[in-house]
Amino acid sequence: MNYPWHLYLMALIYIIAGIMHFVKPKMYTRIMPRYLSNHKLLVYISGIAEILLGIGLCFQATKNPSIYGIIAMLFVFLLVHFYMLSGEKASAGIPKWILILRIPMQFGLMYWAWWYLSI
């Protein structure tokens, strides 16, 4: 099935983001909320999820379940975004205004994924 190029762009973004969990795991483990355990395992699991969901966007049989998975994943990732606002150490040196802008961006990404359910 041929989908619009921007759906494949979305798929590529998630695949690359997932791969980065394995290339630079420390970047992700340092922003994990302290109340979660086994940070490295969670980083790897989320990386695998991003890769699989990105690939799933490219096939008719898995596109819609992948979209729902991406929306759920982005919702869970809000935990990290809110945690990063909790203090200077949690922010990993990222300016607060950027951290605040990331929250509505998450909802924009959720909407972007949801939009493809009708295609």
**Which tens digits make up the pLDDT trace of 37-93?**
999 999 999 999 999 999 999 999 999 999 999 999 999 999 999 999 998 888 989
Q: How far apart are CA 28 and CA 85, in angstroms?
A: 15
Q: How far apart are CA 49 and CA 74, in angstroms?
A: 11
Domain encompassing residue 41: 5-118
pLDDT higher than threshold 70 for residue 28: yes
The confidence score (pLDDT) of residue 3 equals: 95
The confidence score (pLDDT) of residue 1 equals: 66
Q: How far apart are CA 26 and CA 92, in angstroms?
A: 11
> What is the average pLDDT value for the chain, to the nearest integer?
95
Q: What is the pTM of this model?
A: 0.92
Q: How far apart are CA 116 and CA 57, in angstroms?
A: 9
Total domain count, the chain: 1
H-type helices in the chain, by residue range? 5-23, 25-29, 39-56, 60-84, 96-115
